[in-house]
Amino acid sequence: MRYQPRLRDGKVVPLHWPLAMYRRLNHIIWPLEDGTSERAVFIEKVVLFVGFLIFCQHNEVDFHYLLANRHDIDKMLTGAPTFLVLLEIQIRGFQLAIRKDDFKRLLQKFYADIYVTQESEPVLYARIQKWLLATRLNSMVYLLALLNFSVVPVKNIIYHRREMLYQQVYLFDNTKLYFFLPLICLNYWIGIIITTMLFGELNVIGELMMHLNARFVILKSDLSQVVTRLLEVENSSEIAAKYRRALINIMRRNVALNLFGEQMEREFTFRIFTMFSFSAILLCIMGFKAYTNPIGNIVYIIWFIAKFCELLAFGMLGSILYTTTDDLSVMYYSCKWEQVIYHSNNVQENVLLMKLVSQAIQINSRPFFLTGLKYFRVTLVAVLKIIQGAFSYFTFLTSIR
């Protein structure tokens, strides 16, 4: 019933384990297959509504904990990370949940036209997997952070307590067994949704960016091969015309890739803005908790590492794509068109070819990059600025401690 990515020929795409977990475990986010029955769609909407209410309920009790400990900065900061992450994922997750069809169309377009298979480009595919290794390692760290919360039930059994997974204050006695059991189950459900969203969307964006980057690399390779082939075999009267037609085909592919990039931007820009906006304060608080009590706050250390690595992975992949697309205008300028004109005796075709090259350079004068609502680019530069801001907040907290 959940959407299964397929290539243009209908072949099922083998998803790597972070995306497979994202698809199977996060029913809030992952879209349904085309042609799903009306009953299944209705059940999906009910589940989304109930899930939203559960998130609201958790936000309320998390916020009550912050209010109850507003005069104790150490205790308040203990509950702040879970509250902020919960709020961030509620904004990002349910914004995606109401736009599932757009997300599914983006994935369908990606796997049909952009995805680079191992069979077609084994060397390039291996390079993509190397680039995406950082996102998969980050997924493991997030899962480790979630696993640390599982220590709470063990401590409950050992010390005969009934504590929740997160720092929460309820307006009723939640330690009664008929309240405690369903509430602790909801804690686990929330944890799974949050964790899979955190590393799942990172892996989705990483896959899209790196395969799109590979398509631009293939475009550059095809363009250079066209010139080499024509210079070897074509006569002087037809070489410019044939090169112009080949260049038009390359440019059409280039424009199609640019349009897919714009579709990615529309899909992710709001959620990227939300994620980056919360990241600085989260890094600050988790760093502060790890600094003040490293032994008692292992979960915050792991969580800090996961968030830090997530930002670095985003920035690295964004910078790779930015660098590749920034070279496109140079690619057209350096595509040996002057040699084609030198070997051609067709003056009219030569003029048309020079105009076409100029147009290609102009079209690609601006490199592609994902943004957060146009406020910043997803590159290492933006990530370093966020980390710098987090460090500034961290020094402020340590000074008033």
Q: Is the pLDDT of residue 233 over 70?
A: no
Q: Between 117 and 160, whose confidence is greater?
A: 117
- pLDDT, position 137: 92
Banded model confidence at residue 244, pLDDT cuts 50, 70, 90: confident
d(CA 123, CA 214): 11
371 bridge partner residues:
377
- pLDDT, position 356: 85
d(CA 2, CA 18): 16
Place of tokens 């929330």: 190
Give the pLDDT confidence of 71-128 residue by residue, as tens digits: 888 888 888 888 999 999 999 999 999 889 999 999 999 999 999 999 989 999 999 9
Q: Between 150 and 301, whose confidence is greater?
A: 301
Place of tokens 């899909």: 267
Angle at which helices 177-233 and 239-292 pack, to 10 degrees?
150
- pLDDT, position 156: 78
Q: How confident is the model over 166-187, as a mean pLDDT?
A: 90
d(CA 160, CA 146): 22
Q: How confident is the model over 327-337, as a mean pLDDT?
A: 81
- pLDDT, position 230: 76
343 in Cβ contact with 231 (< 8 Å): yes
Banded model confidence at residue 146, pLDDT cuts 50, 70, 90: confident
Q: Is the pLDDT of residue 65 over 80?
A: yes
Q: How confident is the model over 320-326, as a mean pLDDT?
A: 91
Contacts for 96 with CB less than 8 Å, ≥ 6 apart: 29, 103, 201, 271
Q: Between 64 and 339, whose confidence is greater?
A: 64
Both tokens assigned to 158: 């050992």
**Sequence ranges of the domains in the chain:** 17-400
Place of tokens 């205790």: 75
- pLDDT, position 105: 94
Q: Is the pLDDT of residue 234 over 70?
A: no
Q: DSSP characters for 210-258?
A: HHHHHHHHHHHHHHHHHHHHHHHH--TTTHHHHHHHHHHHHHHHHHHHH
Name the average pLDDT for the chain.
88
- pLDDT, position 7: 92
- pLDDT, position 235: 67
The distance in angstroms from the start CA to the end CA of the chain is 52
Angle at which helices 151-159 and 133-149 pack, to 10 degrees?
20
Which residue type, as a one-letter code, is found at position 376?
A: F
DSSP tag of 2: B
Q: How confident is the model over 352-359, as a mean pLDDT?
A: 85
168 in Cβ contact with 62 (< 8 Å): yes
d(CA 256, CA 242): 22
Q: Is the pLDDT of residue 158 over 90?
A: no
Give the pLDDT confidence of 187-218 residue by residue, as tens digits: 999 999 999 999 999 999 999 999 999 999 99
Banded model confidence at residue 243, pLDDT cuts 50, 70, 90: confident
6 bridge partner residues:
12
146 in Cβ contact with 224 (< 8 Å): no
160 in Cβ contact with 153 (< 8 Å): no
Of 206, 189, 90, 42, the C-alpha closest to 139 is: 206
219 in Cβ contact with 254 (< 8 Å): yes
Angle at which helices 17-25 and 133-149 pack, to 10 degrees?
50
